[in-house]
Each structure stands twice: as structure tokens, then as C-alpha cells.
Chains A and B, each alone.
Chain A
């Protein structure tokens, strides 16, 4: 549904996006992570046919972003970084205006707007001047605008950045629902927990270049190594290092705990438990250590010189 192939963008001599390549199948969410100025917005603008790529190509919803710009724009819903609402309009007028631009009649636009306003908790404020809206309300209305024409592809830039936790949850639930409906979503965010929750795929971009791209678990594994486990023991080991079966790489240890990585936990973990018991070490618990996307992201941006990885 979204295909970017060596997308490159120069502004004069400045290389803003450097041979960005990724593919997002229908019904998937790709989370694009990157610091400010990394090239996320420029990439999105090329995918919405606002900016013309200096080289490379991209297809969105089956349309070429250069040759079929009108069809691309009709097929995507975009939540931009700046929501740019018109302060002297109300929500209904605003959505009808954009509905008209997408070729909807006033009645159709109103019919579509009503459930969206309801979904985002704006129904009661539908006749209020947008200038009086809070930041979060503006963001929700901008999201409603992006969904108004029922686009198969959504490009969302920081969809929950200004929202309170409850509104952010509503939006995340909405994104999950939209994915369930088969929409393809590209999500740019700095909220790594949100990215982790929503992502089918992750791409980390730095200085215009994709550092790593792949499914969330593959990216984690590629950046942080095999899964990490922690064993808690009933008695202190008193400085003794237990002998561990092959395939276990000990990372850290304390008086009553060991932390290790294994490539094949399904095979190695039972053997490890047996080995510990054989060595008279009673196990209280064995659990996987959660590794956040944040850790993976920081690991990725630390190695900026590394080759692009598609995992």
C-alpha cells in the first residue's frame, strides 16, 4: 500500500532524505522514528505528493506520487505536524469545507463528520469557534479531518502529542481500529511507548537515512541482541558462578539473580532450569526482561555510521 524506493530529497545542496526505502502492506502500521529534523516530515510530504522527490520513486495506494499526484492526495488522510485550523470557523463548517474539497456534498460531509466528532469527543463542541479549542481538541479535529474522506492510507505525524492521556488512549484505540479495518498507516512519533504499542513495523531514520527497518521484534533483536531473561534464585549464590548450558550468554548477575541472553529460549531455558536445579540452586522465577523500543532507538541512533539494515 505504501512503497518507497530510494526516495531522495535535496533542498539546494542539503540532503534532507537519503535513499529511503520501505514498504508497508495493507492493514499494517509502520512507525517512523527519528529525532527532530531527521527527515520524517519531508518523507511524508513526498508520500503525499507535496514535495517532488529529487530521485527515487514511491507508490501510495497503488498510485505513483509523481505521476498520479491527484489520485495519491485523494487516497491519503494526512495529519500534519501543524494542524492549521481556521479560528473563525466551527468544527462542522471546517469538516464540511474539507469534505467539499474532497468532492463530498455538504450533507454527505456532515453525515461523515458526525460519528467522527462523536468518536473524538467533539460532538458537543461542534458549533464552537475553533479559536476557542484546546490544543488536544484541535489535534482531534485535525485527525477527524484526515479521516473524513475515508482514505485507505493514513499518514499521521505525532497524532497524540498534545493530548491528555484519556484522549491519547482514544486516538490509539482509533488507530488500532483503523488498522483492523485494513487501512495502511504511517505514523511518525516521538512517543516510543506509543510506537511500540501500535507498530507492526518500525523504521528509524537519522539525518535523512533509514538506519533500520523491519518488524518490531526483528528490529529489537537486531539492535539489542537475542531475548534477555532473568532468573531469580531462592538462596544467595555467594559469589559462585553456576555452570550454564551451551547457548546461554550471561550478561549480569547479582547475589540472588542472573540475567542472560539466549538465541533459542524454547530449547535452552528448560536445560538451564535443569542445570540450576542439579546444582542445588532453587529457582523462584524465570522471566523475559522487557526491552523497550526506546532502548532500541537509542542504540540505533548511536551507531549512525552503520549500514542500512532491513530486518
Chain B
């Protein structure tokens, strides 16, 4: 094991030594470690003094850990720059090829660069936080709670690794530092949002939620590291021209994967689509389980957040349904397209957030919908509505909608899994196009038509069945 790690250590030593010889890295790190924390100490003091005047001490109390997080975050933001320089700079200067000619394994080079890009900024970040905390003690300002401090240290660490591993993924798509810097907005913008969100949670003072953030960032980091490992191989590092946007090539690859060599639509439905569906069997089962879990979570939430509907209102449900039928008369298409588009855009949103989170967040819309459904079922049954009646309200269109949503979500999950899987003969762009094609196949071939059918049922059939069930 140690023998296998030795080459990675050789890389780490060289890279770190190189960083410490570059004043452009040293100066910001020293500044952020030794100067910036004092500025934050001063800011904390000013905030405390100001808020005490108005008795709003809670804001200042929350400000102290928030500033700790800021002190920790600034130095690790340097890690992104170091990582881009380390991975893409070597490509640009041509110094990567001699490395690739040595017996180094791809993962050893990856690990060496990952560690060397992460550790110096992270150490600087820890030192900065210690300086900040020392400053607080010197100024007799109350330190943040131990739990928050642990959370901030963990978040800082995980975020540093996440940014560097994100930089690696970006690096596989760039041959110049300039191109990599442009692409790094795919890291900087989500991280900026994340920090804002973390700040919000911190001001809210909900430590439990912050643990979930730590867990979520950790999962994303693990996935990014996995994707980086999967695509950090010699062939991809040297073999291709990737700085040019090749729309024709992209379209060619996508349509080739989408058509799958089918001679006509019938052939496509008979041979191409079933092959994709077979690949989706396992993700489908997993997503179905997640959907079931979402439903269950929703029903259990009723205990924590009880809500009773007035019995009278339930009795008026028949009347409400009749009103609905006036708005949604039989054979009126607007209601159908409205429902269809609503469902479709949720699945498209799932795809978009799924692509940026390697499938993980793509499951959220379905789980959230199922949880809400579960919660509603719980509330309505607690309020005296029979399960049979509820089934009449949900099942007619749900029988089409739910499997379609599961299938679409499974395609997103599969896309994420494939992106994170080593593909020695294909680039990340080729893999992405192939997975998008798979998702498009499922959507065009099954989900969109089934959702349309479900929308017809929901607009024209379900209300009538429900009305009949309510005795209307």
C-alpha cells in the first residue's frame, strides 16, 4: 500500500515545494492566514458593539461563527486556482507528457495533485481560523459553540476537496489555463450559492440542518472525486482537441446514440429503446424504492406537523369538484396541456439539477412530490377521508404519471452513475452526450407520451371518478 502511495507522495512534494517558491501563491496565503483573521476579529468586535446598542445581540452572536466560516473559506478558494494551474497549467506547458511517460499510474498522479492542491490552502485555512479564534479570546469575545466549530472545520475541509476535485473535472475539458478559468465558473457559482445557503442556515442557528449540509457536500465531493478519477486518464489528458466547441460533432454523437442505428421508428421502438430500458432496470428499482420512501416520509411527517381539515370542508369536496369540472370541461385541451407541461418541466428540472450533481439531486423532485403526496394522504385520512376515496383521487392518472416519473428519474440517476464511471475509451463529453441521448430516448419514446395520456386522464377522467366516489 505504502509503495503504491510513494509516487503520489513524490508528486505532492514537488508540487508543494513549487507552490512555496511562487510568490503569487505565498503572498495571498500569508495575507489570508495572518492578516485577514484580524480584520474579521475587528469586524466581529464592531458588530458586537453596534448590535449591543440596539439589544440585537443574537445577530452578533451568529455573526461570530459566520465570520469564522468566512476566514476559513477565503484561503481554500486559493486551492481552486492552484488546482487549475496544477492540472491544466502542466498540460498547457507540455510538462505533463514527461510525467505520463513514467510508470506513474493515473490515480497516483491524480491523488498527488489533489493532495498538493488541497493541503497547503487548507492548512492556511486552519491557521487562519485559529488566529481568528485566538483574536476572539484576546478580545474576550465569546467563542462559537463546539458543535458549530466542528461543523465549520468539516465544511471547510470538504469544500476544499470539493473545489479541487471539481477543478479536476473542469481540467479534463480544457487545454489552457484561460479556458479552465472560464470553465471554473461551474465551480465558483455553485460554491458561492452554497456558502450563502450555509450562512443562512448559520444565522438561522439550526445546527441539525448544518449537519445535513456537511453530509450533502461530502456526498458531492465523493462523487466529484470519483468522476475526476474516472476521467483523469492519459488518453483524455493528451489525446484530443477539446477547446473548440464542436456543435456538429456533438449533434452527430448525440443523434447517433439516440438513433442507435435504427432503420425506422418501429425498429427504434423494437430494438433501441428496449436496450436502454434494460440498462435502466436497476436504477428504476432504486428510484421506485426512493419514491416509496418519500411517500412513507410524507405520511410520518403528519405526526410532526399535524394538520386537520375541517370536516365540513371535506363534505363540500363534491361541490368543489363540480366547480373544477366547470373549469375543466370534458375535451378542453388547455387543462391537459397545463398539467402535461407542469409535470414535464419538473422532470426537466430534475434532469438539469441531476447533471450538475451526478444524478443525486435529480431524484429530489420525485422524492419531494411523493413526500408531499404522502403528507396529504396522511392529513386527509386523519381528517376522515377514506383510503378508497383517496385512491379515486390519485390513482387514475397516478398509474401513468408515477411510472413515467420513475423512469425519467432513473435515466437521470443512470446518467450520473455513468459520468462517475471510468471510461478509458471515451471522453467526459462523449459520455455526457451518450447519457443525454439515453435520457432523451426514454423521454421521447415513453415519458412524454405517457405524461400526455396521464394529463388527459387527470383533466378529464379523475375528477369524474372522484365526483362519483364522493357521491356526486
**Max chain A C-beta neighbours (<10 A), residue from B21, B94, B102:** B102
Tell me whether B10 and A100 are in contact (CB under 8 A).
Answer: yes
Interface members, chain A 60-90 (any B CB < 8 Å)? 70, 73-74, 76, 78, 80-86, 88-89
Tell me whether A102 and B238 are in contact (CB under 8 A).
Answer: no
Q: Which residues of A contact B348 (CB under 8 A)?
A: none
Query: Does any Cβ of B come within 8 Å of A101's Cβ?
Result: yes
How many A residues have CB within 8 A of the partner chain?
30
Tell me whether A89 and B10 are in contact (CB under 8 A).
Answer: no
A131 CB, min distance to chain B CBs, angstroms: 10
Tell me whether A88 and B97 are in contact (CB under 8 A).
Answer: no
Tell me whether B102 and A84 are in contact (CB under 8 A).
Answer: no
What residue in chain B is nearest A79 (Cβ atoms)? B98
Query: Does any Cβ of B come within 8 Å of A12's Cβ?
Result: yes
Q: Which residues of B contact A88 (CB under 8 A)?
A: 18, 21-22
Tell me whether B95 and A84 are in contact (CB under 8 A).
Answer: yes
Q: How far apart sit A102 and B99, CA to CA, in the bound complex (Å)?
A: 10
Query: Does any Cβ of B come within 8 Å of A260's Cβ?
Result: no
Interface residues of A (CB under 8 A from B): 11-12, 45, 48-52, 70, 73-74, 76, 78, 80-86, 88-89, 97-98, 100-103, 142, 145
Q: Which residues of A contact B101 (CB under 8 A)?
A: 48, 50, 73, 76, 78, 80
CB-contact partner of A84 in B7, B18, B97, B239, under 8 A: B97
Q: Which residues of B contact A76 (CB under 8 A)?
A: 101
A190 CB, min distance to chain B CBs, angstroms: 18
Query: Does any Cβ of A come within 8 Å of B279's Cβ?
Result: no
Interface members, chain B 422-462 (any A CB < 8 Å)? 424-425
Q: B60-102 interface mask toward A, CB cutoff 8 Å, 1 = contact, 0 = none?
A: 0000000000000000000000000000001001111111111
Q: Which residues of B contact A48 (CB under 8 A)?
A: 100-101
Tell me whether A101 and B7 are in contact (CB under 8 A).
Answer: yes
CB-contact partner of A50 in B105, B234, B425, under 8 A: B234
Tell me whether A103 and B103 are in contact (CB under 8 A).
Answer: yes
A-B contact pairs, 14 of them (CB 8 A): A51-B238, A51-B239, A73-B101, A74-B103, A80-B97, A81-B94, A82-B93, A84-B94, A84-B97, A84-B98, A97-B10, A98-B98, A102-B102, A145-B98
Extra 6 A-B pairs, beta carbons < 8 Å, given A11-B240, A51-B238, A73-B101: A11-B241, A80-B101, A82-B94, A84-B94, A85-B95, A88-B21
Q: Which residues of A contact B93 (CB under 8 A)?
A: 82, 84
Tell me whether B238 and A73 are in contact (CB under 8 A).
Answer: no
Q: Which residues of B contact A78 (CB under 8 A)?
A: 98, 101
A84 CB, min distance to chain B CBs, angstroms: 3
Tell me whether B94 and A83 are in contact (CB under 8 A).
Answer: yes
Q: How far apart sit A86 and B425, CA to CA, in the bound complex (Å)?
A: 30
Interface members, chain B 229-258 (any A CB < 8 Å)? 234-235, 238-241, 249
Q: Which residues of A contact B7 (CB under 8 A)?
A: 100-101
Q: Which residues of A contact B94 (CB under 8 A)?
A: 80-84
